[in-house]
Amino acid sequence: MHYISSGQGSAVILIHGLFGNLDNLKGLGRNLEERHRVVRIDVPNHGLSPHWQKMDYPLLAQAVIELMDSLQIEAAHILGHSMGGKVAMATALSYPNRVTSLIAADIAPVSYEERHEKVFSGLENIDLIGLKSRSDALKQLLTAGLDEGTAQFLLKNLSRTDEGFNWKMNLAGLKSCYKDLIAWHNDIEADAFLQYRKPTLFIRAGDSDYVTAEHRQAIISQFPQVQAKTIEGTGHWLHAQKPAIFNRIVIDFLAKHDGK
């Protein structure tokens, strides 16, 4: 996987969400690198990481561990937002000895209903060959019914080439793997379901429906040492909407559990 490493100290791995890249958590990384070795990754099929035909959470967790091995990181705090939170949770559940603590931002360890049809449709309908400018792409996404904030976020994946424009992400691969990305593999009804029994923090966005009261049992069952914080007045991209509060919550949690 493509990554950027900065700072020194105990390791913290930051994992972005669907359609994102390692720059999404750059501000948090900058805040952490005074005390930590910060590793921001591009999840496969995103950014500059390899394109995968099959992509699910056990495979992504294995990829995180392989990256840690290559960087000679024995254990790390792991934080992920949205899909990245699921990658972080899967890594902690499958490899608990390698994860010092876990932070999941606005995501639960459950399966979700499909909710990105409009995004996929909007992205697929952009004619990359005939595209004249980024503003032209923005207009097309707005016409497709996406709000401007979401459209601007998605257009961070657009890169100019000699022939025109390309997507940095593997759009076709993400669409074919989408059902695995909204699913969850750790069935709490099964006798041998996995648990992570180390410090865990769920940070929830007050105006988002990604983490609700009905997810409480699934969270507690899989992460018995969990605590939760809610940032009011934020939607799903809480780390971008209220970065000062989000970063402070993360820094305080890591300070409390570093070395434990």
**One domain, residues 103 and 207:** yes
What is the average pLDDT score of the chain? 93
pLDDT score recorded for residue 190: 87
Helix (H, G, I), strand (E, B) or coil at 226: strand
Q: Are residues 101 and 128 in the same domain?
A: no
Residue 130 binned pLDDT confidence (cut-offs 50, 70, 90)? confident
What value does the mean pLDDT take over residues 44-63? 95
Of 13-17, 142-146, 202-206, give the lowest mean pLDDT range. 142-146
Average pLDDT over residues 118-141: 89
Task: Indicate the SS3 state at residue 97.
Answer: helix
- Say how many domains are in the chain: 2
Predicted confidence at residue 82, as pLDDT, reads: 95
Q: Known catalytic residue: 116?
A: no
Residues 155 and 103 in one domain: no
- Range ranked top by mean pLDDT from 135-139, 145-149, 249-253: 249-253
Residues 173 and 125 in one domain: yes
Clarify whether residues 129 and 7 are in a common domain. no
Single residue among 156, 177, 198 that ends a domain in this structure? 177
Query: 133: domain range?
Result: 117-177
- Of the two residues 175 and 260, the one the predictor is more confident about is 175
Measured over the CA atoms of residue 210, residue 252, residue 76 and residue 217, the dihedral's sign is negative
What separation in angstroms does the CA of 200 have from each of 19, 68, 195, 220? 25, 20, 11, 10
- pLDDT confidence tier of residue 259, bands split at 50, 70 and 90: low
Q: Does 46 qualify as catalytic in the annotation? A: no
- Out of 16, 36, 236, 257, the active site residue is 236
Q: Is the pLDDT of residue 94 over 80?
A: yes
Residue 161: what pLDDT? 80
66-92: per-residue pLDDT in tens? 999 999 999 999 999 999 999 999 999
Q: What is the pLDDT of residue 242?
A: 94
User: In this predicted model, what pLDDT tens digit does every residue of 203-227 receive, in sequence order?
Assistant: 999 999 999 999 999 999 999 999 9
Catalytic hit among 82, 94, 101, 208: 82
Beta strands in the chain (DSSP E): 3-6, 10-15, 36-41, 76-81, 99-105, 158-161, 164-167, 200-205, 226-231
Take residue 30 and report the two structure tokens written for it.
């900058």
CATH of residue 71: 3.40.50.1820
pLDDT at 260 over 60: no
What are the tokens at 218?
């699934």
Instruction: Specify the pairing of strand 10-15 against strand 36-41.
Output: parallel
The residue written with tokens 């909710």 in the block is 115
* Claim to verify: residue 220 and residue 235 sit in the same structural domain: yes
105 and 23 co-located in one domain: yes
DSSP string computed for 104-162 = EES--SS------HHHHHHHHTS-TTT---HHHHHHHHHHTT--HHHHHHHGGGEEEET
Predicted local confidence at residue 206, as pLDDT: 94
Q: Which two tokens stand for residue 140?
A: 């097309």
Domain shared by 105 and 52, yes or no:
yes
Do 143 and 102 share a structural domain?
Answer: no
Assess whether 154 and 33 both reside in one domain: no
Instruction: Verify that 65 and 32 share a domain, yes or no.
Output: yes
Residues 92 and 137 in one domain: no
Q: In one letter, which amino acid is 81?
A: H
pLDDT per residue over 161-199, tens digit each?
A: 877 888 999 999 999 999 999 999 998 888 889 999 999
